[in-house]
């Protein structure tokens, strides 16, 4: 894709929201900004960077999952191997929809049509698509079973199965969402109803925006001395887009301020973790932002139950204590153990970030782990148990890296290493843990948090990454989606 095409896609996004910026203003910004130039250049890389020596490798490649990570990997492999034999297994007809945009839908910035893209429009030419679900994985015999009956064999298996939303792990909620765009009727019996919301699936994001409007209306009518309660949760364990629970809180605050009713609503963030953000250099400014905005925070609070009729949420408030035990010889030993007590909060609006895991057919198979992710070498992304199995995207069991920006780094590593392995060469490409979180802090401001396994900022641009910036908002709203849909899904960016 040529640079002018990518630029036009960015300007098309601008045209959808003239109340924020005109096309003329955007062109001026794009012309003057080194940041914008960098993004456009990255999005419009013309050819695959795979070595020419990889062109003649042979073998059958099967990819489980045709979302962002899986379809991008298929495209890049297809760009890199002559006469490639690639099969993608994906049941969801809108699997490539732009999930990062769900936060903007919940904030009233985008509409649902802004993020929905059809899987079949992004299947690379020559790549085979099986429109079904993997129901069994047999790595000992190099095969998977689709829909309980169809056997698909492989020489190389790439797992890009994503992360399921495990709402049923919270008492009072139902369902496990496998696709953001499906009907998800079981989950919506509670989520999207009566003040309970979650932006992690498409219908949930739409309903969350409606819920914020309901909260605003309720606040305008509120005359009592006690404030209304808006509660936001962050669960135990790894989740995709770990900044999303913070983003929706910031956006709710912004809309309440805009409506003139912020003083009538108390915003509280309950997180299982001991910090707001896992990277200290970013956590410090976020803590300051919380203080400036009057947010409350409770650490080490993990959501256990919701009573939607009573509008209460119960958390396990936990801490570590030293306790004495007897060892196998009967001698006393001191161990630190986790203890907890239930704490109940009332709410008028609650946003639930659910626990997550890779689908059980993957996580409970021989390529999975106790934590229900695909067990891989964190650098090469190669299975720890089977050398011809790889993982990319949210399902990969790596210390960090469950964002679209992480997948953009990972899929290039996987492609390079798969081609090397198919050619009998050493796998030398390494993923450094790069993760990016465009942390929306308000309507018009974003803190672009980039980091890797060093747990230090790794900014792509010559700006202090701990600052909230308007230009990073422009990056989030106008540039990242075209870069993803027209760059990454082509296997180029």
Residue with tokens 């919270």: 170
∠ CA(290), CA(110), CA(163), 5° rounding?
75
pLDDT digits (tens, 9 = 90+) for 315-347: 999 999 998 888 777 888 888 999 999 999 999
| Residue 157 and residue 27 share a domain | yes
| Residue 240 and residue 107 share a domain | no
| 275 CB burial (10 A radius; 0-12, 13-18, 19+) | middle
User: What is the per-residue pLDDT for 462?
Assistant: 82
| Residue 299 and residue 174 share a domain | yes
| Residue 200 and residue 108 share a domain | no
| Residue 319 and residue 441 share a domain | no
Last residue of a domain, one of 309, 335, 356: 356
b (16+ CB within 10 A) / e for 114-141: ebebebeebbbeebebbebbbeebebee
User: What is the per-residue pLDDT for 40?
Assistant: 59
| Residue 83 and residue 132 share a domain | yes
- What's the CATH code of the domain at 207? 3.50.50.100
| Residue 138 and residue 54 share a domain | yes
Q: What residues of the chain score a pLDDT lower than 70?
A: 1-6, 17, 19-21, 28-55
| Residue 236 and residue 139 share a domain | no
Which neighbouring-strand residues pair with 130? 89
DSSP result, 207-265: HHHHHHHHHHHHHHH--SSSPEEEEEEE-SS--SSTTHHHHHHHHHHHHHHHHT-GGGE
| Residue 378 and residue 350 share a domain | no
Tokens coding 319 = 């801490």
Last residue of a domain, one of 307, 325, 356: 356
User: What is the per-residue pLDDT for 6?
Assistant: 61
Cα distances (angstroms) measured from residue 83 to each of 43, 153, 384, 474: 26, 18, 29, 40
Residue 400 sits in which domain range?
A: 3-163+358-490
pLDDT over 70 percentage in the chain: 92
| Residue 257 and residue 182 share a domain | yes
Tokens coding 73 = 């990997």
Give how many domains the chain has, as a whole number: 2
Confidence (pTM): 0.92
């Amino acid at each position: 894709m040529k640079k002018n095409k990518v630029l036009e896609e960015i300007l098309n996004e601008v045209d959808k929201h003239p109340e924020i910026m005109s096309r003329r203003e955007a062109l001026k910004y794009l012309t003057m900004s080194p940041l914008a130039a960098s993004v456009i250049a990255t999005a419009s890389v013309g050819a695959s960077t795979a070595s020419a020596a990889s062109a003649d490798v042979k073998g059958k490649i099967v990819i489980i999952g045709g979302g962002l990570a899986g379809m991008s990997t298929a495209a890049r492999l297809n760009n890199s191997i002559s006469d490639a034999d690639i099969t993608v297994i994906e049941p969801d007809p809108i699997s490539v929809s732009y999930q990062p945009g769900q936060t903007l839908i919940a904030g009233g910035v985008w509409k649902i049509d802004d993020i929905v893209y059809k899987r079949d429009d992004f299947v690379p030419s020559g790549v085979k698509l099986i429109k079904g679900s993997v129901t069994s994985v047999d790595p000992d015999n190099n095969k998977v079973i689709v829909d309980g009956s169809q056997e698909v064999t492989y020489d190389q298996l790439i797992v890009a199965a994503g992360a399921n939303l495990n709402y049923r792990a919270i008492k009072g909620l139902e369902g496990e969402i496998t696709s953001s765009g499906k009907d998800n009727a079981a989950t919506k019996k509670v989520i999207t109803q009566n003040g309970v919301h979650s932006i992690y699936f498409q219908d949930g994001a739409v309903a969350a925006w409606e819920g914020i409007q309901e909260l605003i209306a309720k606040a305008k009518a509120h005359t009592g001395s006690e404030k209304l309660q808006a509660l936001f949760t962050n669960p135990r364990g790894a989740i995709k887009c770990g900044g999303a629970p913070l983003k929706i809180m910031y956006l709710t605050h912004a809309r309440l301020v805009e409506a003139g009713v912020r003083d009538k609503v108390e915003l509280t963030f309950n997180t299982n973790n001991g910090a707001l953000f896992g990277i200290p250099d970013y956590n410090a400014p976020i803590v300051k932002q919380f203080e400036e905005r009057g947010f409350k925070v409770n650490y080490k609070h993990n959501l256990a139950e919701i009573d939607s009729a009573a509008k209460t949420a119960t958390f396990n408030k936990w801490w570590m204590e030293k306790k004495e035990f007897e060892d196998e010889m009967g001698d006393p030993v001191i161990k630190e153990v986790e203890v907890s007590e239930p704490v109940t909060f009332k709410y008028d609006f609650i946003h639930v970030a659910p626990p997550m895991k890779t689908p059980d057919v993957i996580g409970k198979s021989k390529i999975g782990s106790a934590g229900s992710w695909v067990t891989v070498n964190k650098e090469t992304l190669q299975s720890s148990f089977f050398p011809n199995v790889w993982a990319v995207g949210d399902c990969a069991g790596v210390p960090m890296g469950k964002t679209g920006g992480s997948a953009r780094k990972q899929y290039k590593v996987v492609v390079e290493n798969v081609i090397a392995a198919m050619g009998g060469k050493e796998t030398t490409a390494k993923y450094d843990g790069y993760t990016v979180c465009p942390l929306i802090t308000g309507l018009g401001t974003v803190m672009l948090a980039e980091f890797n396994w060093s747990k230090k900022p790794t900014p792509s641009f010559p700006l202090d990454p701990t600052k909230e910036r308007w230009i990073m908002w422009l990056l989030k709203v106008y540039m990242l989606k075209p870069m993803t849909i027209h760059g990454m899904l082509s296997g180029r960016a």
